[in-house]
Each structure stands twice: as structure tokens, then as C-alpha cells.
């Protein structure tokens, strides 16, 4: 089956739910509608025991390069809707009662980092990287990233990654504890399939209790992070720095902030 939303494909095969970001021409940049479609997929199968595990991945060379700044409407109401959709999708992944594998097949940037880290086992190709580039356009991380990244790698490294827009290659992300494993690019698809199918054939109830216990212990502030990020991001979206940042992004030049 498909989501009915362009750019998101959803299938279930032998107990494995697969949700695929499918906008390779836009490196899987997401819109309000596609983020809601991700949430719809995980919410609709949460009570369906036939989906014993899930995979979230992307098509083409990228996992997800964040919100589609070139096409998304940037009014206050539209921006709020996109933030809400991002928060909803991350919350739906986190709440899914069976294991979710985040298969990062290429760059994960912006809210793509949040989508990847909301998964229970996040794995990546050797050539992938993780990037919170929000400050480059005068914004702050959202989609729960301030909680998800800090819960994985600690305050100091999270602040370095967020404030400096540090690009973290997958092998370094693994060493830092941001993700669970890295696979050679040529072996990635088969390795993810083996991992996910193993999860789908495993003890679902034990997995559910285990993931919820660990996530409750480490992500208790996720809901508060959503609220803080929403407030800050909406204020920043109306700032002169964001106007300059997005202009520089679209014009492919260095931003000059006030």
C-alpha cells in the first residue's frame, strides 16, 4: 500500500512495515503533508500486530535532508503546521510498540536527524552523515532534536553539533553513541533487511517493554522539547536573521547575520 501522499511509500511484507521517504529529486526533503503521512503510517499500524517490526528509510542518495525550504510556504500558520507535523511524526515513531529500525541510507539533516534518532535501532551507510544545520539559516533544531541528540551523545557534543552545525560522518556518529551501527554501502540493504527481519521474528512483547523502558528513562523530556522548540522556532522564523539566512540559502551564498 502507499500513503496517498506523494513522497511517502508504505508497505507491509511478512510482518515488516516499511515506511520510505521517496522524493529523490529533492533528496527526500519533507513537507507538512509528508511528515503527517509518516505519522499516519506508524499510528495506523501501532495496533496492528501483523506489523511486528518497522523500517524507516529513504530512496536514492539521501535519507532526509530536512524540511523543503525551497517549496514550503513560510507563513506563520504554515510554519507552525510543519513543526507540529514533525513533532507528530517523531512522537509516532517513538510510540510505535514494536522495534523500529532507522535505515539511514544517506545524509540525514535537519528534521531528518530527528526522524532517524526517534527510531529504536538507527543504522547508517559508511558514507552517510548527520547534520543539524539550523543555525546556518538563523533557526534552532526542532522535531525533538534537542532531546534526542543530547540523550544519545550528551550535552557538550549535542551543543557542538547544534551550535556549530557540525557535520558528523556516520563512523564518528557510531563512535559518539549517536547511532547503533554502520554498514558498508554495498552491504547496507542486505544488512538492514537481516536486522529488521530478525526483529520481526523476535519476541514482540519483550521488545516492546524493553524499548519503552529505555525510552522512558532517556527521553522523558521529549514532550517538553517539542514545546520549547516550537516556541523558539516560531519566534526565530519571524526574525531578520532567518530572512537573511533563507535568502542566502536560496542564493547559494554566505549569510550575513545582524
Rounded Cα–Cα distance for residues 87 and 81 (Å): 10
List per-block mean pLDDT (blocks of 10 residues) for the chain, which spans 258 residues. Answer: 71 96 96 96 95 98 90 69 97 98 98 98 98 96 98 97 98 98 98 98 97 97 98 96 92 94
Identify the helix (H) or strand (E) that includes residue 54. Answer: strand 53-58
pLDDT of residue 71: 61
Of the options 3.40.50.170, 3.40.50.880, 2.60.120.620, 3.90.226.10, the CATH number for the domain spanning 8-186: 3.90.226.10
Q: What is the pTM of this model?
A: 0.95
**Cβ-Cβ contacts under 8 Å for 186 (sequence gap 6 or more):** none
pLDDT of residue 75: 63
Report residue 14 as a C-alpha cell: 511478512
Rounded Cα–Cα distance for residues 10 and 4 (Å): 9
Q: Are 53 and 99 in contact (CB under 8 A)?
A: yes
CA distances from 145 to 52, 86, 103, 140, 240 (A): 26, 11, 18, 9, 24
Report residue 98 as a C-alpha cell: 514494536
**Cβ-Cβ contacts under 8 Å for 16 (sequence gap 6 or more):** 51, 52, 53, 54, 55, 196, 197, 200
pLDDT of residue 99: 98
Nearest to 134 by CA among 247, 219, 246, 235: 246
pLDDT of residue 220: 96
Q: What is the DSSP string of 84-115?
A: HHHHHHHHHHHH-SS-EEEEE-S-EETHHHHH
Rounded Cα–Cα distance for residues 131 and 109 (Å): 5
Can you tell me which residue has the cell 516550537?
A: 230
* Burial call 225-245: b when 16+ CB within 10 Å, e when fewer: bbeebbeebeebbeeebbebb
pLDDT of residue 58: 98
Amino acid at each position: 500500500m502507499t500513503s496517498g501522499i506523494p513522497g511517502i511509500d508504505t508497505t507491509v511484507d511478512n510482518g515488516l512495515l516499511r515506511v520510505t521517504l521517496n522524493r529523490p529529486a529533492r533528496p527526500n526533503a519533507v513537507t507538512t503533508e509528508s511528515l503527517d503521512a509518516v505519522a499516519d503510517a506508524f499510528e495506523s499500524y501501532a495496533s496492528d500486530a501483523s506489523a511486528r517490526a518497522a523500517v524507516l528509510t529513504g530512496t536514492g542518495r539521501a535519507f532526509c535532508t530536512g524540511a523543503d525550504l525551497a517549496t514550503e510556504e513560510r507563513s506563520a500558520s504554515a510554519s507552525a503546521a510543519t513543526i507540529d507535523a514533525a513533532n507528530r511524526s517523531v512522537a509516532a515513531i517513538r510510540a510505535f510498540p514494536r522495534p523500529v529500525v532507522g535505515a539511514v541510507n544517506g545524509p540525514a539533516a535537519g528534521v531528518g536527524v530527528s526522524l532517524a534518532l526517534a527510531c529504536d535501532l538507527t543504522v547508517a551507510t559508511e558514507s552517510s552523515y548527520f547534520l543539524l544545520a539550523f543555525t546556518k539559516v538563523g533557526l534552532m533544531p526542532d522535531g525533538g532534536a534537542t532531546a534526542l541528540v543530547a540523550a544519545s551523545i550528551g550535552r557538550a557534543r549535542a551543543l557542538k553539533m547544534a551550535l556549530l552545525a557540525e557535520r558528523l560522518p556516520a563512523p564518528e556518529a557510531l563512535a559518539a553513541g549517536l547511532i547503533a551501527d554502520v554498514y558498508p554501502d554495498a552491504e547496507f540493504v542486505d544488512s538492514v533487511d537481516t536486522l529488521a527481519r530478525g526483529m520481526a521474528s523476535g519476541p514482540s512483547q519483550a521488545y516492546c517493554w524493553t524499548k519503552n523502558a529505555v525510552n522512558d528513562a532517556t527521553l522523558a523530556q521529549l514532550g517538553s522539547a517539542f514545546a520549547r522548540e516550537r516556541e523558539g522556532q516560531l519566534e526565530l522564523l519571524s526574525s531578520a536573521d532567518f530572512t537573511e539566512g533563507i535568502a542566502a540559502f536560496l542564493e547559494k551564498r554566505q549569510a550575513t547575520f545582524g
